[in-house]
Amino acid sequence: MQPKIKRMADVIEFETDERCYISEIANDPEDERVSIARARVKPGEITAWHKLLGITERYIITKGRGIVEVDDRPATPVEVGDVVIIPPGCPQRIRNTGDGNLIFFAVCTPRFVQEAYVDMDSDIYIPCETPLR
């Protein structure tokens, strides 16, 4: 791998079926260990229940406020500076409770691949594949 500078200005934001907007800043096959994406959730929106198989995800909240749900834990308010750690296979979603956009970085290890994404927007609850500590 060679040194690089990834510029946010060069990244194209796209809308997802998950009800949020993603800008993939760093997600390269040459760096299997990590991916970094900027996520944006509009006011009043809630992302789809989903989980990532075999991937630990961290939300780093940089703008706005919301309520995050992970596994069967109580819904928890989050704000700028908070970090949410989501173990592999844990159901998750986040709601924007503010008046402006909720923006956070999603840092995944190993890197995010679409095949690991499981949509869980149904009435069926499936717990984490690994226990939370």
| pLDDT tens per residue, range 62-80 | 999 999 999 999 999 999 9
| Whether the Cβ atoms of residue 109 and residue 56 lie closer than 8 Å to each other | yes
CA angle 58, 59, 65 (to 5 degrees): 160
For the chain, the domain total comes to 1
Length of the chain: 133
Domain that holds residue 113: 21-118
Alpha helices, DSSP H only, in the chain?
none
Query: Would 97 be classed as within a structural domain?
Result: yes
Average the pLDDT over each of 47-51, 77-81, 118-122 and give the range with the smallest value. 118-122
**pTM of the prediction?**
0.89
Query: Would 132 be classed as within a structural domain?
Result: no
The more confident residue out of 133 and 128 is 128
Query: Would 79 be classed as within a structural domain?
Result: yes
CATH assignment of the domain containing 75: 2.60.120.10
Q: What is the average pLDDT value for the chain, to the nearest integer?
A: 92
